[in-house]
Chains A and B, each alone.
Chain A
C-alpha cells in the first residue's frame, strides 16, 4: 500500500490545484468529529455528575464517584470480567476453529469454492436473528434441537442458557465470528507463494517445520488483523445478548454494552451509564492501540 503511494508524495506539491485536498477531506473529518468526538466528550462530562432523567432538575457534580462506584462494587466488577471473558473466550475459539478451517480449505478438493462461500453465512446473519434462533430453536431445554440430541444419546436435557449461560453465549458468538477469522486467515494463507513451500520441502522440512517456519511467520499479519478487529467488535457485543439472555440469569451474561443500555434506558441513570461508556471506550482503545502497534510493527518489518 505505501510502496505504491510514495511517488505521489513528491509529485503532489507541483500540481496547482484550486480545490485543495483539505477541502475534500474536511467534510468527512468534520462529520466524524461531530458524531463521535463531540458526543464522547459529552459522555465524559456527564460521567462526573449524578444525573438521572427520572429525577429532573437536580444534577449535582460528584467528581469521580460514578467511576468509584463502578470499579469498587463487586457486582460491577463481575460485568467488567464478563466483558473480558466473553471477548477473550470468543476470540481464542474463533482463532483456533478459524485457523483449522482455513488450513482445511487451503487444499484442493471438490466443492471447495462452494464450501468457502457457504461457510461465511453465519457471519452475515443479523446478530438478533442469531440470538433468537439459538435461544428458541437450538438451546431450548424442552423443544430445542440440542436437548433432543442429548436425550437421544441417553443424557438428561440441559437448559443451556440457565445452567451454562456464559458458555452458551460464547458458543453462539463463536459460531458467528469463526467465518470472519476463517476468511481473513484463508486469504493470508493464499498469499503465501508456492515456491516458499517448495523450497522448504526441498530442504527436507517436516510438515511441522514447514508450518512453524514458513506458514506461521507469513500468517502473523492475518492473525493480528483478526485479533485487532475481533477485539474491537467483541467488546461491543450487544445484539446477541439482547436477543438471547438479556444479560441474565442474574448478571451472568451482562457485559459493559448491555449494562450501559440497562442503566441508561431502563433506569435513566445517565451519569453512571456515561462513566461505564467511558470505561468501555478506554478499554477498547487501550487494547486496540496495543494490537494496532503490533500490527504496524510486523507489516513494516516485512
Chain B
C-alpha cells in the first residue's frame, strides 16, 4: 500500500516535470537559437549541441538600443505617473472606506474592461492634433491609464492592512493628512509599492497595441521593434532570437523574483 502511494507520487512528479518541460520548451528553443549561427538555427534535423556564438547579439544590438531606451522611459515614466496619481487615491479609499469609495474602486476596475480598441480611434485623432503621435509623452499617457487602476487597487489592498490604531495614535499626536500619508501609509506599504511597480513595469514593457498605433519610429518601444523584425528580418531566426532574448530576459527575471506578488496584482487582490 505504502509502496503503491510512493510509486503514484513519483509518477505524478514525473508528469509535472514533463508538462513543465513542454511549457518551457519554446523559450529554451529561442534562447538556444540566439547562440546559434543562422545555418544552425534553420537546420533540419534541429541542432541541439553546438558552439555558442555571440554574433547574433552584436547584430541585434544596433537597432535594439533606441527601442530599449524608449521602452525604459515609457515603462518607468508611466509607472511613476501612475504612482503619483494612484497612491493618494489608494490612501484615501483605504482610510475612508465609505460606500462611495467602494463604488469608486469598482468603477476604476471597470476601466480595465475598456478594450483599447474602444478608445484608439479618437485617441489617434486627438494625438495627431496635439502632435503627440510618435512621442514618448504620448505613450506614457496611455500606459498610465493602463496601470492606474492596478496601482489604486493593489495599493488600496496593501494600505487597508495597516492597523488603524497607528493612524489613531498619529492623530492624537496631531498629525495632518499629509503626515499620515507620507509618514505612515507610504513607509508601511513599501513592499506593496515594490510589487506594484514591478507589475506596472512588466505590463508597460510588454504592451503592443498602443505602441504600434501611437508610435512609428522615434518613440517606438521594443514591442514594435520585435514586431518589425518579423517582417523585415523574418528569415534571420538566430538574430531574431537574440533580439527576443534581450527583450524577454529582464521581464522574466523581474517576474520570477516577484511571483508571489504577481498573484495579488493579477487578481486585483481577490485571491491571496
In the complex, which range does the number of interface residues on chain B fall in?
35 or more
Chain A: interface secondary structure?
A: helix
A273–B176 Cα gap in the complex (Å)? Answer: 50
Residues 169-201 of chain A, each 1 if its beta carbon lies under 8 Å from chain B, else 0: 000000100111001100110010000000000
Instruction: Report whether over half of chain B's contact residues are helix, strand or loop; otherwise say mixed.
Output: helix
Provide the residues of chain B in CB contact with A191, threshold 8 Å: 271-272
Q: Tell me the bound Cα distance from A242 to B230 in angstroms.
A: 10
Of chain A, the residue at the smallest CB distance from B250 is: A124
Contact segment of B55-63, B105-113, B186-194: B105-113
Binary B-proximity of A86-113 (CB < 8 A = 1, otherwise 0) = 0000000000010011001101011100
Contact flags B157-176 to A (C-beta < 8 A → 1, else 0): 10011001000100100001
A80 within 8 A of B: no
Bound Cα distance A232, B141 (Å): 22
- Assess whether A27 is interfacial by the CB under 8 Å rule: yes
Q: Are B114 and A40 in contact (CB under 8 A)?
A: yes
Interface-located stretch among A54-62, A114-122, A159-167: A114-122
Q: Are B164 and A229 in contact, with the CB atoms below 8 A?
A: no
Q: How far is the CB of B13 from chain A (nearest CB, A)?
A: 4
Q: How many residues of A contact B (CB 8 A)?
A: 109
Nearest to A260 among chain B residues (CB) is: B117
* Known pairs A32-B145, A277-B120; A124 contacts B252 (CB<8 A): yes
Q: Is the CB of A137 within 8 A of B30?
A: yes
In the bound complex, residues from chain B placing their C-beta under 8 Å from that of A148 are: 44-46
A residues near B30, Cβ cutoff 8 Å? 129, 133, 137
Check A21 against B96 for contact (C-beta < 8 Å).
Answer: yes
B145 and A132 within 8 A (CB): no
Q: Which 10 residue pairs across A and B have the least CB separation, nearest first? A: A42-B122, A24-B92, A21-B92, A28-B89, A239-B208, A39-B119, A281-B118, A24-B88, A124-B255, A19-B177
A and B contact pairs by CB, cutoff 8 A, 8 listed: A6-B97, A36-B114, A124-B254, A126-B206, A126-B208, A187-B267, A264-B120, A284-B114
